[in-house]
């Protein structure tokens, strides 16, 4: 027997309709290029989204068409989210930080018919247009007066001119909630990027889950500033969850440096934000340097990479900001776990709570997680056993766009590519990416553990650990360190003997690994603007067959054999490192 309840489709258009009707005068604040701040309300945003939906219909957009964006977190991008998906088309957010070849591949593979782009991406657009014949309409996210003069694409439309003549009345169509709503491609670290195709149903369920008290804990009283990019995994689903709740939304645009973020936080009284650790490191360094107060900011949701405990401690103890770890991936929409305490943890010691904080969090209802060994056998959730992390749930990908290869096992589990532990309370901890684990002398060494431990040293600003070939141990870890003061870098002995009151367990691992596996310590200045040379002990030939930790691309061999090259990325800058050439660094080696 079926129940007697209404069966209304879960559609993204219902979010903006709800906000416009019930939170009509709540503000949306958007910082544009040049720092200009634009303000309007949910009611006005809804009307402009309907104007855009009418304009796209006039251009011939059909349900199922892919409509691409190369855009920052702004009010126009927000309107595109709802106008495109609400009309039954697919909002395809393109990550501008990918290599151009990947961007070109993504747009051709998706067969986008429309491209919206911010003016700051004009160079990408100029190169992309001749390679993407499926894109019939190029629309600059500006008005005619601010259209870039160096734009070479013919017949470009501007956003404001496009929507100006349109009616702000539009009847959102009704369709199956399983209809595709948005498309986001993975970064393609192991081959070509792969498209994750979200549905209206998965997006609405994810928004509900994200807003819950033990997750993002969103309230209509909050002022939320997503610093997670709208071009990647739908800004962690926040544009939808925030709209469902109806709280004030602050969109920071492209300025994500510490000074710019602090200005917005102070001016708009932001209470909650989210983003990768690098962003909050920049904010912390800014307020420490200037002595400014952090203001109303109380919570940070941090994901994309493990947040060092040292940064979490500084934010909490010095600035009163509670940091919450989130884990997810493009394929999980991305919410999978969120790290909030249970009541029993109130009685835990500070050290015990710190040990819990560094985990990626508790399993979110709507997702299931398990860990398996190399033969696919389930491992216990005891916080000790670690294995390949598997996930399934209501907003988890079942496949990739236009890719026939099965990605689920026979029980519907998706292999995340992470190695993790899960404890009896459901707290999951990523020990490494499967491809980044350093396998040395029969042991699996976590690059994440070592990186977080190194960053805890007061003289270390940033750190990365990579695995390099070794004829005896197969691989051994290499620690690359950015010192806070290049003139006084920490020595190898400093890092080994560093007192570790708050993260003793993690640094115990670091001490053992350094001594047993002979880590090489490399130092270079914080400006990261030069090319540096590194000599490995014994002139070992170092091979980088793929991505390991912070190595993001393998390059052709150096002209003078047997030296290879790799790129190591810190923050948003890239440094070319010829491996095996004569040393020009302050280099400590065994």
Catalytic residues: 186, 331, 439, 444
User: Could you write out the three-class secondary structure of 412-471?
Assistant: CCEEEEEEEEECCCCEEEEEEECCCCEEECCEEECHHHHHHHHHCCCCEEEEEEEEEEEC
The reported pLDDT for the residue numbered 582 is: 26
| CATH number of the domain that residue 71 is part of | 3.40.50.980
Q: Looking at per-residue confidence, does 562 or 34 come out higher?
A: 34
Per-residue confidence (pLDDT) for residue 34, from 0 to 100: 80
Q: Is residue 484 part of a domain?
A: yes
Confidence label for 343 from pLDDT (cuts 50, 70 and 90):
very high
Predicted confidence (pLDDT) per residue in 81-130, tens digit: 999 999 999 999 999 988 898 999 999 999 999 999 999 999 999 999 99
- Model confidence band, residue 29 (pLDDT cutoffs 50, 70, 90): very high
**In the listed set 138, 153, 175, which residue is the last one of a domain according to the structure?**
175
**pLDDT value at 483 more than 90:** no
How far is it, in rounded angstroms, from Cα 210 to Cα 305?
19
pLDDT of 219 higher than 80: yes
In a domain, 558, yes or no: yes
pLDDT at residue 499 greater than cutoff 70? no
Output 186 or 510, whichever has higher pLDDT. 186
Residue 294 placed within a domain: no
Residue 541 pLDDT class (50, 70, 90 cuts): very low
Tokens of 436: 């980044």
Residue 577 scores a pLDDT above 60: no
Does residue 382 contact residue 429 with C-beta atoms inside 8 Å?
Answer: no
Residue that terminates a domain, selected from 127, 143, 175: 175
d(CA 41, CA 49): 12
Long-range own/partner contacts, residues 505-511 (CB < 8 A, 24 or more apart): 505/355, 506/309, 506/358, 506/449, 506/452, 506/453, 506/456, 507/453, 507/456, 509/446, 509/449, 509/450, 509/453, 510/449, 510/450, 510/453, 510/454
The mean pLDDT value for 147-165 works out to 97
Q: What's the pTM?
A: 0.80
Beta-carbon neighbour count of residue 366 at 10 Å? Answer: 18
Say if 499 falls within a structural domain. yes
The domain in which residue 71 lies consists of 45-175
Rounded Cα distance, 390 and 395, in Å:
14
Asked if 338 contacts 215 with a C-beta cutoff of 8 angstroms, the reply is yes
For residue 271, name the pLDDT band (cuts at 50, 70, 90).
very high
What are the residues facing 337 on neighbouring strands?
A: 327, 363
Residue 298 lies in a domain: no
**Helix, strand or coil for residue 290?**
helix
Residue 477 lies in a domain: yes
Strands (E), 499-550: 520-523
In a domain, 467, yes or no: yes
Closest to 557 in 3D by CA, of 548, 566, 568, 547: 566
**pLDDT surpassing 70 at residue 334:** yes
- Mean local confidence (pLDDT), 24-31: 98
> What is the arithmetic mean of pLDDT over 172-185?
98
Query: 394: part of which helix (H) or strand (E)?
Result: none
pLDDT, mean of residues 415-434 = 89
> Are the C-beta atoms of residues 420 and 371 closer than 8 Å to each other?
yes
Percent pLDDT > 70 in the chain is 79
The candidate with the shortest Cα–Cα distance to 60, out of 134, 136, 116, is: 136
pLDDT band at 471 (very low <50, low <70, confident <90, very high): low
In this predicted structure, which of 154-168, 216-230, 302-316 has the lowest mean pLDDT? 302-316
pLDDT at 555: 26
Confirm if 332 and 395 have CB atoms less than 8 A apart: yes
Instruction: Give the number of other CB atoms < 10 A from CB of residue 97.
Output: 11
pLDDT, position 207? 98
Per the structure, the count of domains in the chain is 2
If you average pLDDT over every residue of the chain, what do you get? 83
CATH number assigned to the domain comprising residue 527: 3.30.300.30
User: Given a cut of 90, is residue 73 above it in pLDDT?
Assistant: yes
Residues 256-270 have a mean pLDDT of: 96
* More confident site: 68 or 533: 68
- With cut-offs at 50, 70 and 90, classify the pLDDT of residue 229: very high
Q: Which of 175, 204, 220 is the last residue of a domain?
A: 175
Flag whether 124 is in a domain: yes
- Token pair listed for 447: 């690059």
User: Rounded to the nearest 5 degrees, what angle is found at the Cα of 570, between the Cα atoms of 566 and 576?
Assistant: 30
CB 190 within 8 A of CB 546: yes
């Amino acid at each position: 027997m079926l129940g007697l309840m209404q069966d209304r489709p879960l559609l993204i258009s219902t979010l903006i309709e709800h906000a416009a009707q019930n939170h009509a005068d709540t503000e949306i604040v958007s910082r544009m290029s040049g720092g200009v701040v634009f303000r309007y309300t949910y009611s006005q945003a809804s009307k402009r989204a309907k104007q855009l939906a009418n304009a796209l219909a006039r251009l011939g957009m059909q349900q199922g068409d892919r409509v691409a964006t190369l855009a920052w977190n702004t009010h126009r991008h927000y309107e595109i989210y709802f106008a495109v998906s609400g009309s039954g088309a697919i909002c395809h957010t393109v990550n501008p930080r990918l290599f151009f070849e990947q961007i070109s591949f993504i747009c051709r593979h998706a067969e986008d018919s429309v491209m919206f782009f911010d003016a700051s991406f004009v160079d990408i657009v100029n190169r992309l247009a001749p390679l993407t014949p499926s894109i019939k309409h190029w629309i600059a996210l500006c008005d005619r007066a601010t259209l870039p003069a160096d734009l070479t694409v013919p017949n470009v439309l501007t956003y404001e001119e496009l929507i100006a003549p349109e009616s702000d009345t539009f009847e959102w169509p009704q369709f199956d909630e399983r209809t595709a709503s948005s498309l986001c491609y993975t970064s393609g670290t192991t081959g070509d990027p792969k498209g994750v195709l979200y549905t209206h149903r998965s997006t609405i369920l994810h928004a509900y889950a994200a807003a819950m008290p033990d997750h993002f804990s969103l309230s209509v009283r909050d002022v939320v500033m997503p610093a997670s990019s709208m071009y990647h995994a739908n800004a962690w689903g926040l544009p939808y969850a925030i709209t469902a709740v109806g709280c004030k939304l602050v969109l920071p645009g492209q300025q994500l440096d510490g000074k710019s973020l602090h200005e917005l936080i102070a001016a708009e009284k932001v209470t909650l934000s989210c983003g990768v650790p690098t962003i909050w490191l920049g904010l912390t360094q800014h307020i420490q340097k200037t002595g400014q107060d952090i203001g109303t900011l109380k919570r940070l949701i941090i994901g994309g990479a493990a947040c060092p405990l040292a940064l979490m401690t500084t934010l909490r103890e010095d600035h009163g900001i509670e940091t919450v770890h989130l884990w997810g991936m493009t394929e999980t929409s991305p919410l999978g776990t969120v790290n909030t305490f249970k009541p029993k943890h109130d009685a835990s010691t500070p050290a015990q709570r710190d040990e819990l904080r560094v985990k990626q969090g508790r399993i979110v209802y709507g997702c299931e997680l398990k860990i398996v060994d190399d033969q696919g056998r389930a491992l216990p959730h005891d916080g000790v056993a670690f294995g390949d992390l598997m996930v399934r749930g209501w907003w988890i990908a079942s496949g990739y766009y236009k890719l026939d290869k099965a990605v689920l096992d026979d029980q519907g589990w998706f292999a995340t590519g992470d190695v993790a532990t899960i404890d009896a309370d459901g707290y999951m901890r990523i020990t490494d990416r499967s491809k980044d684990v350093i396998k040395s002398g029969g042991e699996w060494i976590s690059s994440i553990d070592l990186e977080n431990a190194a960053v805890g040293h007061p003289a270390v600003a940033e750190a990365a650990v990579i695995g390099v070939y070794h004829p005896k141990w197969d691989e051994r870890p290499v620690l690359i360190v950015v010192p806070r003061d290049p003139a006084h870098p920490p020595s190898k002995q400093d890092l080994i003997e560093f007192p570790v009151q708050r993260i003793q367990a993690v640094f115990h691992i670091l001490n053992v690994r350094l001594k047993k596996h002979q880590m090489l310590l490399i130092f270079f200045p914080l400006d990261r603007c030069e090319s540096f040379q590194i000599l490995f002990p014994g002139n070992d030939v170092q091979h980088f067959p793929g991505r390991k930790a912070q190595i993001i691309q393998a390059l052709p061999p150096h002209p003078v054999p047997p030296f290879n090259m790799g790129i190591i990325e810190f923050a948003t800058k890239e440094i070319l490192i010829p491996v095996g050439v004569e040393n020009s660094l302050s280099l400590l080696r065994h």
